[in-house]
Chain A
């Protein structure tokens, strides 16, 4: 690309705090034209902007201090002058900071064009996974009227599969079949297994080896045991009954279940020895039935994550429900979420619902972190820290991938040599707002 793109900046309500906040921006090298609008948010003001756009060579439009409602009108004007709507932004007067203005400028000037033509944009959702969460997600996607394709993990040989493209245009080649989709949702649940072994006479012991995902089976096993004769012991490491579950926990205790908190148990010929952490002394139980409830992570998860180029330990990172950190890929289900919400199915429904707004919209344009290679000491702190996997090391230097960087600002805070820069640093609320296209419309 030759000459870098420049933006035209107009200031509404050009007085007092507005002027102070925006003055710095006017000298910005990428601002091609700047002007105070005599009267804002009116026919006259818009004519003024239009006149400028038709005559000059700026490729983006930024209006500061205006009402957010005006964005659509400015976009209409810009289209007449050949500027696409994504290159127009309004910083509403409520968000009157130079930082917000700079971020908006970075957004409209962002040169990262989509790497594929607009007609290739797919609004399809590809759901990969199995289990209760995946079922709920599929149901929800159908209810929301999304164009959803479901791939069972067994359908594809993941080691052979090849994923190309990016958000809005993923292509998954798997053997003979080729899937084309805009967003991917990976959903797996931990599978719960129950082992039973029987010894002669004695009491029933139910051992829990897992988290809240095992709770339902665990409780039903205890229920079953209570209906038989003999004492009922529940051996746990931590009682997994958070929130409303406490009621269940107390109820089970009232009904005669003895909870033992023991990190390890020894079973020998029908008698079991546990050391309860609280009692501190070993307790020997004569066991009739030994039931173990445990959970395991389906093996297919790792294969699918690998095909998507993500490490096996990847978890959703918050901010948007199910956000995997890789643009366009989302994850839900108890195998992928570190938080065992009591209802993973509900969480996956929320994830799918929140995708509806994302699926048809263009790629988000965001401020990026940049590394000053002279200051950088190659300590790799950012590499370890980044939730999106954006920094990478190559040819003896650190780089930040523009594709992956989400402008969260974490590396900025952590860099010991202060080599990473980004539009100014109060990123906590504002960057988030802009990232979502919320603060600046």
Chain B
């Protein structure tokens, strides 16, 4: 263990804002932490988000997570395990043991001669050659998805490919902080909004990529854009009755940022209510100074008209139809119901799928972040810090 001292260890599951804040806080107090993360890098969903205050800070809190990440990576008390999948959790004498699996790199870079034969052989294009290196996209590899293939393995002249190599490791802890986060609502499930069918309809996460400069979109001066809020939020019909509490705030920031980039872009926002914003919050006041149009209506459907998305919505007693160049669906958050970690740890859920902390604290399990219900980055960070405090208290009880 770091420092050679026997310091109680806390396992933090999830490396998003809450998990990072919790780990950082614990490390500041001298508690060693193991941070488990499913993805390849830390930061959770924030990694895909852009700074929305390029000229003036709009407190989107994205930088806060970047800062926490650097803090966590530099701390010697925190061991970070990325790309790990959980095999099982065991509890013994108040200690938790997490057995983890981490898939190895499919391509052994030491052996690989970069001949590119596997790239030619791959039927799905999962193997690509980028910057002189062969990379495998695990999600589109047929063999990893359980289908028969392994063509790359047979074609490789040097035997550098091992698709199923994995590494087992186990991590122990006296307390567990669960910060597994939530999922964003898959916009294609809301069929009437035409995501994936009508061109020009994108999700707010796609817009984030656009703002980061990673994706193209039909957004520039003189074009028309619409935001549709509460997609996968406040709608029982698709199983997400709660308000996501974030999409008003981030959509408004996105719209204001777009307006700043393209002053002549016309923007319409279809909203139900403004939630989580107060009058003295700068966002609504800033909105009032722009010519962004706000329509209080929940659009009925989006269909393609002449290759452009058209929105049909109710306005007063009439039904109106408007064409746009781009329609952004502001997706909400929904609980991750299939997460194996949570079922293994037997954490109860409320009727809407969010985790409840009943009976958790006694056995050294603490919850933090948006797995407890939809919340924004700042709230998740605060949550993580509080969970760190609870975990410290729990360790204090156990180890005097």
Contacts and interface: CB of A to CB of B under 8 A. Distances in A.
B6 interface: no
Interface string B37-75: 000000000000001001111010101101101111111
B71 A357 contact: no
B67 A414 contact: no
A280 interface: yes
Contacts of B316: 280
Contacts of A435: 67
B76 interface: yes
Interface stretch (A168-176, A200-208, A245-253): A245-253
B280 to A, nearest CB: 6
Contact of B63 (A92, A211, A429): A429
Interface string A227-238: 000000000001
A280 B314 CA distance: 13
Contact of B59 (A246, A317, A353): A317
B241 interface: yes
A338 B278 contact: yes
Given A241-B243, A318-B61, A349-B386, A356 B29 contact: yes
Contact of B74 (A243, A385, A438): A438
Nearest to A321: B382
A339 B275 contact: no
Nearest to A437: B71
A319 B382 contact: no
B373 interface: yes
A164 interface: no
B381 interface: yes
Interface string A381-425: 000010100000000000000000000001001100000000000
B375 A318 contact: no
B296 A414 contact: no
A241 B277 CA distance: 11
Given A278-B296, A439-B70, A347 B56 contact: no
A351 B275 CA distance: 24
B71 A243 contact: no
B73 A414 contact: no
Given A246-B234, A385-B56, A428-B63, A92 B242 contact: no
A247 B67 contact: no
A243 to B, nearest CB: 4
A247 B374 CA distance: 13
Contact of A321 (B59, B234, B385): B385
A428 B383 contact: no
Contacts of A327: none
B28 interface: yes
B387 to A, nearest CB: 9
A266 B120 CA distance: 75
A140 interface: yes
A264 interface: no
B25 interface: yes
A238 B29 CA distance: 42
A247 B240 CA distance: 11
A33 to B, nearest CB: 26
A144 interface: yes
Interface in B364-396: 373-376, 378-379, 381-383, 385-386, 388-389, 393
B234 A433 contact: no
B70 A432 contact: yes
A439 B74 contact: yes
B56 to A, nearest CB: 7
B371 to A, nearest CB: 13
A68 interface: yes
Nearest to B70: A433
Contacts of A439: 70-71, 74
A180 interface: no
Interface string B333-372: 0000000000000000000101000000000000000000
A303 interface: no
A441 interface: yes
Given A238-B275, A239-B275, A242-B243, A338 B76 contact: no
A438 B244 CA distance: 32
B99 to A, nearest CB: 28
Interface string A84-126: 0000000010110000000000000000000000000000000
Contacts of B282: 338
Contacts of A436: 67, 70-71
B299 to A, nearest CB: 15
Contacts of A280: 316
B273 interface: yes
A243 B66 CA distance: 25
Nearest to A347: B382
B167 interface: no
A350 B385 contact: yes
A435 B28 CA distance: 15
A211 B388 CA distance: 30
A150 to B, nearest CB: 19
A69 to B, nearest CB: 5
Contacts of A3: none
Contacts of B388: 353
A341 interface: yes
Contacts of A240: 275
Interface in A300-315: 313
B216 interface: no
A347 B384 CA distance: 11
Given A244-B373, A429-B66, A430-B70, A353 B389 contact: yes
A346 B386 contact: yes
B125 interface: no
B281 interface: yes
A373 interface: no
A436 B21 CA distance: 13
A354 interface: yes
A440 interface: yes
A433 B51 contact: no
A237 to B, nearest CB: 9
Contacts of B242: 243-244, 246-247
Given A340-B278, A429-B63, A438-B70, A321 B381 contact: yes
B274 interface: yes
Given A238-B275, A433-B74, 8 more contacts: A244-B242, A247-B241, A339-B376, A340-B278, A347-B382, A349-B389, A410-B56, A438-B67
**Closest CB pairs A-B (n = 3):** A438-B71, A433-B70, A432-B67
29 contacts: A94-B73, A143-B389, A143-B393, A144-B389, A238-B273, A238-B274, A244-B242, A244-B373, A244-B374, A246-B234, A246-B243, A247-B241, A250-B241, A318-B59, A318-B61, A321-B378, A338-B280, A339-B281, A339-B376, A340-B276, A346-B383, A349-B386, A350-B386, A353-B25, A354-B25, A432-B63, A432-B70, A438-B72, A441-B76
